Amino acid sequence: MSIEGKPIPRFLYGTAWKENETRRLTELALKQGFRGIDTANQRRHYHEADVGEAVAASVAGGLVARGDLFLQTKFTFQRGQDHRLPYDPKAPIAIQVEQSLASSLAHLGTETIDSFLLHGPTQRDGLVAADWAAWRAMEASHDSGRVRMLGVSNVSLEQLKRMCQEARIRPQFVQNRCYAVRGWDRGVREFCAANGLVYQGFSLLTANQDVIAHPELAQIAKRHGRTTSQIVFRFALDVGMLPLTGTSNAAHMRADLDVFDFHLEPAEIELIENLSVQR
């Protein structure tokens, strides 16, 4: 898969909630074969500068070239931050976006971000002036060439539809927490598929422990000679998601990437789609 000539990895490594382990785990993920890295300029949950150090060390050591990597970061409104802000909170939103992006480019040691996401609208419902101010500034960052692609995370179907209707540059990525109990975010996924957007699913394991423990999922895993986690990730791929994993275990990293040589049967996909309904 590629967008505008840039190859898009089929699996992303998420760097949230790793604190002082961020550099080590990001380097470990790159060593295991990940080439897509997801972060955010939100010190509350991410250590973006340490991601950059991991990338720099991996490039300097000859493990990867910058051109082989897909680096994705986010602009986060102040309500999602703690006191360690990457911008002046008194500045207009457009300036905050500019300052956050400049900081991210410095953190990651690159001249271009492959994917720049709005880390969620300011409200759960609807879009307000601040959301549009941020998006217009992100569109300008795309125009400048410092950002290849734009996206949005933590977004509802209604918000996404409106963004696509009114944005000058539509989001190319949509990243949501994906709950089986909510139909694996089917409405947003279907909209993405119908409109050429890439759906990124996160918390596929942590948000769905009941499904992972379901005996029918275990039976599917046994048939394929895989773990239940691998079945969940293969399901995600088979229904058109770009999955994220944040595991800190090297063996799990390798196992997560070892899901590209098989497919689930249509009946198995349908069963997993509806497992949470059956519980």
Rounded to whole angstroms, how far apart are CA atoms 231 and 269? Answer: 10
Task: Please check whether residue 192 lies inside any domain of the structure.
Answer: no
Q: Are residues 29 and 109 in the same domain?
A: yes
**Coil/strand/helix, residue 8:** coil
Q: Is the pLDDT of residue 113 over 80?
A: yes
* In a shared domain, residues 95 and 215: no
pLDDT tens per residue across span 171-213: 999 999 999 999 999 999 999 999 999 999 999 999 999 999 9
Do 161 and 229 lie in one domain? The reply is: no
> Does residue 279 register a pLDDT over 70?
no
The reply to whether 213 and 155 lie within a common domain is no
Distance CA 252, CA 75 (A): 29
Q: What is the pLDDT at residue 275?
A: 86
Query: Tell me, what's the pLDDT at 102?
Result: 98
Tell me the residue length of the chain: 279
Tell whether 197 is covered by a domain: no
Query: Assign residue 203 a region: left if phi > 0, alpha if psi is -120 to 50, beta otherwise?
Result: left
DSSP-assigned states of every residue in 103-146: HHHHHHT-S-EEEEEE---SSSSS--HHHHHHHHHHHHHHHTTS
Residue with tokens 């300036």: 95
114 and 45 together in one domain: yes
Pairing of strands 6-7, 2-3: antiparallel
What pLDDT does residue 6 have?
77
Say whether pLDDT at 1 is over 80: no
Per-position b or e across 247-278, b if 16+ CB within 10 A of its CB? beeeebbebbbebeeeebeeebbebbeebbee
Largest CA distance in the chain: 57
Number of domains in the chain: 2
Flag whether 173 is in a domain.
yes
Q: Is residue 3 part of a domain?
A: no
Over residues 72-86, mean pLDDT: 98
What pLDDT was estimated at residue 3? 73
Residue range 16-33, pLDDT digits in tens: 999 999 999 999 999 999
Q: Evaluate if residue 278 carries a pLDDT over 70.
A: no
Residue range 125-180, pLDDT digits in tens: 999 999 999 999 999 999 999 999 999 999 999 999 999 999 999 999 999 999 99
Count CB neighbours of 2 within 10 A: 7
Beta bridge partners of 73: 116
Phi, psi for residue 151 in degrees, rounded to 5: -160, 180
Residue 277 has pLDDT above 70, yes or no: no
Tokens (6 digits) for 132: 């549009």
| Same-domain check for residues 211 and 261 | yes
Residue 146 is predicted with a pLDDT of: 98
Average pLDDT over residues 245-261: 98
Q: Exposure of 64 by Cβ count < 10 A (0-12 exposed, 13-18 middle, 19+ buried)? A: middle
Domain boundaries, position 56: 8-177
Calculate the CA 186 to chain-centre distance: 17
Domain shared by 172 and 216, yes or no: no
* CA 266/CA 157 separation, integer angstroms: 26
Q: Are residue 99 and residue 162 in the same domain, yes or no?
A: yes
User: Would 161 be classed as within a structural domain?
Assistant: yes
Q: Looking at 136, 160, 177, which one is the last position of a domain?
A: 177
Whether pLDDT at 41 is above 60: yes
Q: How far is Cα 261 from Cα 263, in angstroms, rounded to an integer?
A: 7
As a whole-number percent, the residues of the chain with pLDDT over 90 amount to 96
Q: What is the spatial distance between Cα 150 and Cα 196, in angstroms, rounded to a whole number?
A: 13
